[in-house]
Amino acid sequence: MDHMRSYKLGVLAGDGIGREIIEATTAVLEAAAKKKEVKIEWVPLPMGFKAIEKNEQPMPESTITALTGCDGWLLGPHDSASYPERYKAIRNPSGELRHRFDLYANIRPAKSSPFVEGLVQDADLIIYRENTEGFYVDRNMYQGVGEWMVTTDVAVTAGVFTRQAIERIAHAAFQKARTRRKKVTIVHKANVIRLGTGLFLRVCQEVAKEYPDVEVDDYHIDAMCAHLVRRIHDFDIVVTENMFGDILSDLTGELVGSLGLAPSINANDTYAMAQAAHGSAPDIANQDIANPMGMLQSAVMLLDWLGERHDDVNLGAMSASIEEAVSKTLSQGVRTRDLGGEAGTREFAQAIIKSL
């Protein structure tokens, strides 16, 4: 398409360093949008402590309603561990949005950069994590929570695995593999959790038959952790259940540089939510030292997702220009403290904007 299209993006700054990294991210996106003839309408919405103060809920219904009218949104980190006790029995803000919007695919790339010192080299993989069930008890039930105290000394936790959920994350993974190196690795624990992750493995293998051009292998979760450390460059697309995907993506994020830089999006066929993998880091909040790269790279993923969904080449060009500007900025030695530099959050964002 060759005419300017407008996109409405929700902005949920959240807690801790959330406001700082969200402001840096939206400033970069706004500058890139102007150069690539894309119009963005920002929709600021309350979430986290500010929402508790204003709406008495960390994720108000008014915020969720407003998000249904957005094309996607940026979710800052939340500090739910510090919320008042009465809010700890409910889903945290990101879990609530994943559940309410059925954002079944948590997509987490890990790619080596020549400008970031990692523990491994030549990594370029994407983890497709099933995002709605498995052993995550805050979202694997239609109503209630999937764990119980049988007595004061006995806890029971349920894992849920359904064909429908496995099929859709498997198709998403295989479709992406066709655009890359055409290889999918299924991660499971079918030798022990034979019914649950056994179903996950079996259904993924059934889906694989629809993609005969894609190479498929599989590993137990414990072996996969070892393989990633030793030979991460051999893997392209990894598909796995919820908890395993969370653990593996934290591992790969750290291996290529830092979990603090790791991006992700949570998506279904209609909505996508950009969310950095890191937490709210309240110990460095409001000091202008947080690195916004995780949030910014998540926003780039959101742009790519929107570009594919709306067949908008301008969004693809916009995301590519931001990635190029980030690399140029890092190559010039402009870095935040966590990467050995001196730049603050705002200064780093302005350097990226200048590089655009």
Query: What is the dihedral angle through the alpha carbons of 265, 268, 270, 274, rounded to the nearest 10 degrees?
Result: -10
Cα–Cα distance measured from residue 110 to residue 128, given in angstroms and rounded to the nearest whole number: 11
Our answer to whether residue 250 is catalytic in this structure is yes
Q: Identity (one letter) of the amino acid at 133?
A: E
Active-site residue among 79, 218, 246, 304? 246
What single-letter amino acid sits at 318?
Answer: M
Question: Which of 122, 222, 269, 354 does the annotation list as catalytic?
Answer: 222
Sign, CA dihedral 329-246-184-97, equals negative
Q: Which of 136, 211, 219, 271 is catalytic?
A: 136
222 in catalytic set: yes
| 219 in catalytic set | no
Residue type, 297: Q
What secondary structure letter does DSSP report for 61? H
Residues 215/184, Cβ–Cβ less than 8 Å: yes
Nearest to 330 by CA among 296, 303, 304: 296
Residue 50 parent element (H or E): helix 49-55
304 is catalytic: no
Active-site position among 250, 288, 328, 338: 250
Contact of 343 with 355, CB cutoff 8 Å: no
Q: Which DSSP category does 239 fall into? A: E
Both tokens of residue 233? 């460059």
Catalytic residue among 189, 219, 304, 312: 189
Q: Which of the residues are catalytic?
A: 136, 189, 222, 246, 250
